[in-house]
Structure 1
Amino acid sequence: MNHKRIWELMGRKLAGEASAEELQELDSLLRAHPDLHFPVEAIADIWKTDSGANDRAAGEDAHRRLISRMQEKGIDIGLSFEEQQTGIFQLEAQERKSWWRYAAAAVVAGGLITAAWWWRPVGKPASPLALSEVVTKNGSRTAVHLPDGSQVWLNAGSKLTYNKDFGNGNRDITLTGEAFFEVAKNAEYPFVIHTTRMDVKVLGTRFNVRAYPGEKVTEAALIQGSIEASLHNRPGERIILRPAEKIVVTEEKIQEENTKNNEPVMEVRHLTYYEENTDAIVETSWLENKLVFRDESFISLAARMERWYGVTIRFSDPQLEQLRFTGVFAQETIQQALKALQMTAVFNYSIHGTDIIINQ
């Protein structure tokens, strides 16, 4: 409901008909939904570049062209322009003159991430995006189409940031959390992902990077192509991964002989398959709406379940944190997931809204 209201208010703002109270409401809703900042700014860019369409006929034509382009790109918009048009103009006569302007914006904006980059009037330069941060909350995931043609799928509790000139001389981004990348090839400008412990450099490939704050492990798993990884504290060392390999960096420390410098452990491993004779890979199972865990401690699994279900999990007894589990969650609710875990270990739990307490 909040998302629908955001697009309604955004449409009224673009049409110049939003009241001060509505603008304040829009600002408040956007603060509560930071993942919508990117598409909201994108639709604003579109509106500015096509500000010459001031009458209904021109507006319908602009809307039709945008819908057509989105369909060509395979972006799901639900209804055809004609079907949308039927719903848009069922208003009283005195309201019709201006309604098409914010209705068209609201209808289109909901599914829009990349339109601001490819739907531009010929001959008009694209203005830079005002924002360069995409955030997903716990319990949600999102897909992002970057200006260079690369695609990113952000897992729950993640953040992607990049400079406003991304794609024009550089392709550097910073990731906090987990994301799967399909990188557009560009030999001149490598695509570089920066995390807290390591950097991953690539020219064009498909891979997954996991770098959640608070977790002891950072990893990059290669599905296709080739990537190069380097640790921040050892920039001179490079590791080249081949498909079906991953680099794992842990916070476990090793004490080198005759030195006081402790360094994280970095090693190359093979990807893990959770179903025999298939390409079902643990490292990318979240893309298929599956939470896969293998001999994982309860405290570690609880952190993943918090992001997956959008809840908070606390333990009343530290011993329970060390219970270990193996399994797969797909369509289960949080209650069903906890009951499934109870089948292999002895513990109880209580749920209070989004707060869960694990006890003996």
Structure 2
Amino acid sequence: MSNNEQHIVPIELLTKFLAGEANAEEQMLVKKWKDHSDENLKEFNAIQKLWNQTETAARKETIDINAEWDRMLDAITPAKTRTLPIMRIVQIAAAIIIITGLAFLGIKQSQIQTLKSTFAKTETIELPDGTIVSLNAKSKISYPKDFGIASRELTLKGEAFFEVTKNKELPFIVNAHEAKIEVVGTRFNVRAYKKQTQIKVTVTQGTVKLSEKKQPTKKTILTAGETGTYDRQVKAIKKKPVADKNDISWKTLEMHFSNSPLTEVIAVIQNTYHMEIIISDSVKDCTITVDFQNQDLASVLKVLKSTLDLTIRKDGDKLYISGAGCR
């Protein structure tokens, strides 16, 4: 390889090398070119990084890479000489990988299953591994179509209660924004709405590991009856030894309040019955002690109205609560 040739590289040879199809002599030629200068090595690493970003599936299933090289070469070089300055190769490599990368994304997206609930309705779903997922309103889960074969990992946006089928070989993983929840077989609730600053995990059976995605060592173990919260602003995990049963009232229709301020009561009711409720400042600090079991929204509101002497009116899809106040 002459001094001039050490600054360029045959495109077909580079393609074969990156594809793992180069023979020993061809591998040596590429190695000599890489070792000739720091600049060559840097440029090769950049090309290799781009190449590696394109998954094997994309190269095999969506496009013939070598054919694409040839097609581009025919358009930009004479037939007798197929060598280019390395920066031009980078440009071509980037173009090809963008094409194959987009195709690969198309494949991956078509392999993702997304299930969601509507604004005011919950949904119950059985995953391929037998796990039962109850989705609260305005929530969705996404998982690969081969879920349960090589892994059991999904993404949650919103709130869901999981009754996980036990499988020690494949841990069940829920990705919820910045948090990660991992279990083997258990029952737990995850609240991870986009606009809320906290991701909350409530365990009703078994053991759950709650951690931060970017810092897996930042974790806590939760057992039945415990609640863990991940604060998205300060990036901290806290554990509460006694779970609030109202955290899963949307699923059980059981609510328990003990000297609770009306603002707290209304927050639970909104999450349970999927109705937007606005309360006036005059009554927000009123407190109440009451239990509700399997009652509809009208019955619940009737109790609040008579107990706290409230005025409740409906306007469109919203409820407005007011009153003289509490002493």
TM-score normalised by the shorter chain: which range applies?
0.5 to 0.7
1:348 correspondence with 2:319: no
Cα–Cα, structure 1 residues 138 and 296, in superposed 2: closer, same or farther, change >3 Å?
Answer: farther
Q: Is the CA contact (8 Å cut-off) linking 2:140 and 2:156 kept in structure 1?
A: yes
- Tell me the equivalent position of 2:292: 329
Give the 3-state SS of the residue equivalent to 1:236 in structure 2.
coil
Q: Quick one: structure 1 residues 312 and 242, their matched pair in 2 at CA, closer, same or farther if it must change by over 3 Å?
A: closer
- Aligned pairs for 1:1-360 (under 5 A) are 132-232=113-213, 234-250=215-231, 263-272=234-243, 281-293=245-257, 296-315=260-279, 317-360=280-323
Change (3 A) 1:130 1:236: closer
Residue 137 of structure 1: SS of its match in structure 2?
coil
Q: CA deviation at 1:264?
A: 4.3
> 1: distance between equivalents of 2:256 and 2:115?
25
Going from structure 1 to structure 2, the CA distance change for 1:244 and 1:182 (only over 3 Å counts) comes to: same
Q: Deviations over 1:46-74 (max 9, x none)?
A: xxxxxxxxxxxxxxxxxxxxxxxxxxxxx
Cα distance 1:220–1:353, how it changes in 2: closer, same or farther (>3 A)?
same
Structure 1 residue 353 displacement after superposition: 4.5
Q: Deviations over 1:109-161 (max 9, x none)?
A: xxxxxxxxxxxxxxxxxxx9876222223443222110112111223332222
**1:219-272 Cα distance to aligned partner (Å, 9 max, x none):** 212233222111246432121223322212346xxxxxxxxxx61442222234
Structure of greater Rg: 2
So what's the TM-score if we normalise by structure 1? 0.51
Q: Distance in 2 between matches of 1:249 and 1:226?
A: 17
Which fold has the larger relative contact order, with Cα–Cα distance below 8 Å and residues 6 or more apart in sequence?
A: 1
Range that drifts further, 149-158 or 285-294? 285-294
Aligned-residue sequence identity (percent) comes to 28
Number of residue pairs aligned between Structure 1 and Structure 2: 215
With over 3 angstroms needed to count, the CA separation of the structure-2 counterparts of 1:230 and 1:325, relative to structure 1, is: farther
Q: Secondary structure at the match of 2:218?
A: strand
- CA 162–291 in structure 1, closer or farther in 2 if over 3 Å, else same: farther
Q: Is the 8 A contact 2:162 2:188 kept in 1?
A: yes
Quote the RMSD (CA, aligned, Å). 3.1
3-state SS in 2 of match to 1:339:
helix
SS in 1 for 2:204: strand
Distance 1:335 1:232 in 2: 42
Change (3 A) 1:344 1:264: farther
SS in structure 2 at match of 1:200: strand
Paired with 2:286 and 2:196, the residues of 1 have a C-alpha distance of: 18
TM-score, with length taken from structure 2? 0.56
